[in-house]
Each structure stands twice: as C-alpha cells, then as structure tokens.
Amino acid sequence: MKGPAWRRRGLLAASLGNLFFLYLPIAVLIVYSFNAAKLAMTWQGFSLQWYAALARDHALIVACQNSVLIALVSTGVATLLGVSAAIGLERLPWRLRAWLDGALLLPLVIPEIMMGVALLLFFVLIKLPLGLLTVTIGHAAFNLPVVMVIVRARLRKLDPQLEEAARDLGATPWQAFRRVTLPLLMPAIVGAALLAFTVSLDDFVVTFFTAGPGATTLPLKVYSMIKTGISPEINALSAMLVVASMGLVALSLAVQRRRIFTH
C-alpha cells in the first residue's frame, strides 16, 4: 500500500501551495510597509516612517471615522430589521415563506455593481444628495439579507418543540421568545452583525457609486491612493487593515467558541 502515503503527501503539498498563494502577497505587503525606500522595491532598512506619515494624514483619519460611522449605523439597521424579518418569516405559512425566501436571496446574488448603479440612479432621481446617508442606506440594504440568512439558518436548526415546551411550562409567547429562542439565537445574531460590520467596512463598489464627494470612506481613500500610484504609505495602511481584519476574525471566532449550546 504505497498509495495513501504519497497521496497524502501530495495533498499536503497542494494545500501548503494554496496557503503560500494566499499569504504571499499579504506577507510582501507587510514586509515592505517597513521599508525605508521611497520607490524601489529594494530593501533599504527598517523604518516606521510610513506609519508616521499615515498618522499625520488628516483626510485618512476622516475617512476612517466615516467608515466606522457608516458601518455602525448600517449594521445596526440591518441587524434590527434582519433579525425581526427572520423571526417573522419563520412564522409564515410555508408557501409564502418559500416564496419570500427565494425573493430575499436575490440581493445576495445580484452583482455588486448592479446594486451600486441602481442605488445611484435612485438617489439622483429622488434628489437625495449623495453623502454619508446614502452610503449608509445602501450598506444596510445589502447587509439586511445577509443578517437574515444567517439568523434564519440558525432558527431553522432550533427544535420548534423548545418553544412549545416553554409554552407548556407556562410561558407567554413573549416569555418563550425572550427566555428560550432569543438566547439560542444570540450567537448567530452577534456573528451576523460582525459579518455585516466587516462587509460594510470593506465595501468599495456600492460605496463608490453612492458616496459623492463629501463622504470618503477608508476603501475609497485606499482606492484613490492606489490610483495615484504604488507608494509605501499604502503598504503601511494596508498592513494595518490586514491586522485589523485578523482582529475581527479572532473576535468572531471567540464569539463562536461560546456556542456551547449548539449540538
């Protein structure tokens, strides 16, 4: 049986190759963010000067604030409406539910650029000035179905008899929801909100179409920096964003680890 051994080794090599492919550009980015050289890719010594330059960039700080503000508000709206819709959907007769399920899948598969241009046209036609508000509305619109799908997946896995058991033990419908369903949904809700927050922070395409000049977000800022040419400052900024996303991943994993009550 020489088969399995070389096959396993081949698989391991392929997997490591994949990881190399996934991490190579990120590693290069982080390494060069500490390079003292201005233009060349040659290594001219360790330096934190590009990070210092970022800290002095006022427009960048404003962009950061805009991004966080938009992400917070749009996540709040999307989570509130999404969770409520997921619960409502579960209580519909199944024919209506199946239909709505399909309809609510549409925003998830529609190309981002389509959503971007559609919102742009809509805002222009209703004469709502492009800015933070329009971006936030757009983000909430693409995040709402995301939240709903995640929360619904969890709801569907809940034993419907749990709520019945609570009712049988004297709980009113509200108490049954509050004491049984909601605590069991909480990990999914938190996970969905974290995902929505990240997606909003990262979004470029929809933001690009709905932002207007006054509402530069972090991705828009990064984009305009990239368009003006590769510079070590972008390396430094990107490296920081990479670390920030890793922090968010760690956070969401920590939340998931607390899901002791999943079967």
Partner 1 sequence: MNQPGIELREVVKRHGSTVAVDHLSFSVRRGEFFSILGPSGSGKTTTLRLIAGFEHPDQGDILIDGQSLRDVPPNLRPVNMVFQHYALFPHLTVSGNIAFGLEMRGIVRAEIRSRVSTALDMVRLAGMGDRLPAQLSGGEQQRVALARALVNRPAVLLLDEPLGALDQQLRQEMQVELKTIQEQVGLTFICVTHHQEEALTMSDRVAVMDHGRVLQVGAPQEIYTAPASLFVAEFIGLSNRLDGRIAAVEGTRCRIEAPGLPIIQADAPAGAGPGRAVSVVLRPERLHMSQQAAPNGFDNVVPARVAKAVYNGHEMQYQLRIDERLLWTVRVPNADGGQKRFLPGDTVSVRWNADESVVLAQ
Partner 2 sequence: MTGSLASRAGVRQAGWLLAPALVWMGLFFVLPLLIVLLISFASRGAYGGVEWTFTLVNYRDLADPLYLWIYLRSCAFALATTGLCLCLGFPLAYYIARAPARWQGLWLMLVLVPFWTNFLVRTYAWMNVLRADGLLNRLLIATGFISEPVEILYTDLAVLIGLVYGYLPFMVLPLYAALERIDRSLIEAARDLYASGWTVFTRVIVPLAKPGIIAGCLLVFIPSLGAYITPDLLGGARSMMIGNFIQHEYLVVRDWPLGSAASFVLMAMVLVGMWGYQRTGGERPL
Residues 19-58 that bind partner 2 (CB under 8 A): 19, 21-26, 28-29, 32, 40-41
* Cα distance between residue 134 and residue 207, in whole Å: 9
- The CB-of-81 to partner 1 minimum distance in angstroms stands at 25
5 touches partner 2 (CB under 8 A): no
Contact stretch for partner 2 (CB under 8 A) within 52-60, 68-76, 184-192, 202-210: 202-210
- Residue-level length of the chain: 263
263 touches partner 1 (CB under 8 A): yes
* Exposed/middle/buried for residue 51 (C-beta within 10 Å: 0-12, 13-18, 19+): middle
Cα atoms in the 13 Å half-sphere on the side-chain side of 174? 0
Chain centre to alpha carbon of residue 131 = 21
Q: With contact defined as beta carbons under 8 Å apart, do 179 and 166 qualify?
A: yes
Q: Report the alpha-carbon angle 56-208-101, nearest 5.
A: 125
- Site mask, partner 1, residues 175-194, x = CB under 8 A? xx--xx--xx----------
Residues 105-164 that bind partner 1 (CB under 8 A): 159, 161-162, 164
The conformation of residue 46, written as its DSSP 8-state character, comes to B
Residue 90: CB atoms within 10 Å: 15
Residues 136-195 that bind partner 2 (CB under 8 A): 137-138, 140-141, 144-145, 148-149, 160, 163-164, 167
Pick what 261 binds: partner 2, partner 1, none; C-beta below 5 to 8 Å, kind-dependent: partner 1
Burial code (b: 16+ CB inside 10 Å, e: under 16) for 208-229 equals: bbbbbeebbbbbbbbeebeeee
Of 44, 172, 175, 245, the residue at the interface with partner 2 (CB under 8 A) is 245
Nearer to partner 1, 176 or 193 (CB): 176
Query: What are the DSSP E strand ranges found in 146-257?
Result: none
Residues 99-128 that bind partner 2 (CB under 8 A): 100, 104-105, 107-115, 117-122, 125
- How many chain residues interact with partner 1 (CB under 8 A)? 21
93 touches partner 1 (CB under 8 A): no
Of 15, 18, 65, 172, the residue at the interface with partner 1 (CB under 8 A) is 172
- The CB-of-158 to partner 1 minimum distance in angstroms stands at 9
Residues 6-45 that bind partner 1 (CB under 8 A): none
Residues in contact with 31: Cβ distance below 8 Å, sequence separation at least 6, in sequence order = none
Residues 62-81 that bind partner 2 (CB under 8 A): 77, 80-81
Pick what 185 binds: partner 1, partner 2, none; C-beta below 5 to 8 Å, kind-dependent: none
Nearest CA to 210 among 149, 109, 110, 142?
A: 142
- Scanning 33-131, the segments in alpha helix (DSSP H) are 49-56, 58-90, 94-109, 112-125
The residue ranges that bind partner 1 (CB under 8 A) are 159, 161-162, 164-172, 175-176, 179-180, 183-184, 260-261, 263
